[in-house]
Amino acid sequence: MFKFAHISDIHLGPLPKLTVRELFSKRITGFVNWHRNRRKHLFVNTLDLLLSDLKRQAPDQLLITGDLVNLATKIETRLAGEWLRTIGEPHDTTVVPGNHDAYVPGAHDKSVNEWYPFIKSDDDPPEWPEDDHIFPTMRRRGPIAIIGCSTSNATLPFSASGYYGSRQARETVNLLKTAGEEGLFRVVLIHHPPIRGAASSHKRMIGIRRFAAAISTGGVELVLHGHTHLNTLYWLRNPDHQVPVVGIASASQGPGGHKPRAAYNLFTLSGEPGAWNLLCERHSLTEAGDGVELDASRVLYGRLPAMASIPEAARML
C-alpha cells in the first residue's frame, strides 16, 4: 500500500517589502489584490495546521501543484525554497510551478532554479542547465510514476492563463508510455485545470485539447491540479477508462472566505496494473479554523481497502 498527498496554491505570506522597481510591472496589480483580498483569507497558521495534520498521516510522497508564492519576487522565491526544505526531503516532495511562480518575465526560471531539487526528474543532473527544457519531468516512487507538467508562464496584467505546448505534449506522451510499460500507476501534476470551463477565460489553460490528446495517447491513471482554489473532481476520457482529474483548495485558505477552506487530499493506492485500488480522502480545515478533519472520501479505482474506516458523512468528494 502506497500513500501520497496533494496540496496546492500555498501563496506563502506575508508579502515582503517591495522596491519601486519591483512594483513597476504586473506586480502592482498583484500587490493591490493581496492587500484588498488575499491577505484577509490566506493565513500562515492555516497552512501550519494543515501540514501538521498531513505529517500525522505519514504519506510516502507529497505532491504540490504550484503557486508557492504571490508575486515571484527574489526573496519570496528564496523563502519558498527554504520552506520546502522544512517540510521534507526533495526525494519525498515533488513540485510543479504555477502562474504566480512565473508572475513576471524571468520569474519562472528563477523559481525552477531555486526549487530544482524538488522538481527534477530522477535522471536529471544535480544542477539545472538553464538552457535546457525541464518539463515534463518524471519521478518513480514505489508503484507510481509522477509526471510533472508546467503551464507556468508570465502573462499580461489581469491575466492568469497557462500554456501547454506541443513540445511538452510530445515528451509527456513518451514519459507516459515508458511508465506504462514499467507497470507504474501514472500521476500527472499540472497547475491549471485541463478541463474546458473549469476556470474563467482569463485564467484558463491554453492547450487543453493538446493535453487531452497527450494523455489519451500515452495513457494515465490520475491527474492532479490546483489554480482554482476549489475542491473538484472531473473526468477525462482515456482509451480504456475514464481518468479522474482532481483539484484541491488553497492550502492557506482560512475560514470565512468565498472559497473552500484549506484542504489536502490523501490517496491510498494498492493493487496492480489493470486492477488498481485508489481511495481519495479529503481533509479540510474545520469551520472554526482550529483543526483539520476528514470531510470527504471517494473510491476512484477498484474497491475500498479493507483497513479503511470512513465515516458515512465523508463518503462524497
Say which amino acid occupies 78: R
Say which amino acid occupies 82: E
Ordered per-residue pLDDT tens for the chain, 317 residues: 999 999 999 998 765 565 555 555 565 565 455 455 555 455 558 999 999 999 999 999 999 999 999 988 888 899 999 999 999 999 999 999 999 999 888 889 999 999 999 999 999 888 887 766 899 999 999 999 999 999 998 777 777 899 999 999 999 999 999 999 999 999 999 999 999 999 999 899 999 999 999 999 999 999 999 999 999 999 998 877 899 999 999 999 988 888 999 999 999 999 999 899 999 999 999 999 899 999 999 999 997 654 444 444 343 44
Q: Cα separation of 310 and 317, whole Å?
A: 12
Q: Cα separation of 178 and 145, whole Å?
A: 10
Share in percent of the chain as helix, strand, coil (round to 5):
30, 25, 45
pTM given for the model: 0.89
Query: Where does 118-199 show beta strands of DSSP type E?
Result: 137-141, 144-148, 162-163, 185-189
C-alpha cell of 14? 506575508
Task: Report the greatest alpha carbon distance in the chain.
Answer: 59
Report strand pairing: 292-301 vs 275-285: antiparallel
In the CATH scheme, what is the code of domain 2-14+26-314?
3.60.21.10
Identify the three-state secondary structure at position 249.
coil
Report strand pairing: 137-141 vs 144-148: antiparallel
Give every CB contact of residue 16 below 8 A, 6+ residues apart in sequence. Answer: 73, 75, 76, 79
Distances (CA, A) of 195 to 59, 95, 158, 172, 240: 28, 21, 21, 17, 19
